[in-house]
Copies of this chain bind each other. A is one copy, B any other.
């Protein structure tokens, strides 16, 4: 039987040590009816994975850490996404880890400020949890980093040196990306970026408009499309 995947806090994976699991992970093992000496695969969401063995330790669930592997940080892929509907944004957080996005930025835009159900910074911990949880399911050793929200202007300063692309109806075909190139995407909210924001994206951030096809995509569909195209278009050698 394949070992069960378990999430552990960042930085705790050291071979030969015993670590206590968080309650949510201990619960996950009970639900999956893991044997008391079950083999596990441990993910810390920051590039380390390890084999592990569950063992009973009084009331809490402890794990003996076996061989540890460290995976290099993947090339920078930044998705800056209009912080629209919270539930959709949380789902994007999860999918970003699946698709190898390294950083997800909730963008404050002209057309998200009036959205009642919008993703707010008060939900960032929840988004981070969703991104880390996804490591167990998709087996990516690196969870997407969920940053605090910002505007397009702040984004340009925060991620200087990134090659920005703008998901658009119309625009050019997606270019090929170098193996280590820093790739960024600007994904507008429902209703799109305002004219001022588009001018800033193309001017200030020098974003290349890339076609996402003839239809108007929901922001969460566009985010997944951008991540998938980046994976497909990044040269691997």
Task: Show the binding face of A for B, using Cβ within 8 Å.
Answer: 95, 97-100, 137-140, 173-174, 211-218, 221, 224-225, 227-229, 231-233
What are the residues of chain B within 8 A of A217 when measuring CB–CB? 98-99, 138
Partner of A215, one of B138, B213, B221: B138
Known: A138-B216, A224-B224. A232 touches B95 (CB 8 A): no
A139 to B216, CA, bound (A): 7
Q: Within the complex, what minimum Cβ distance (angstroms) separates A191 from chain B?
A: 10
A14 to B126, CA, bound (A): 50
B216→A137 contact, CB < 8 A: yes
What are the residues of chain B within 8 A of A228 when measuring CB–CB? 212, 224-225, 228-229
B173→A232 contact, CB < 8 A: yes
Partner of A95, one of B99, B174, B214, B221: B221
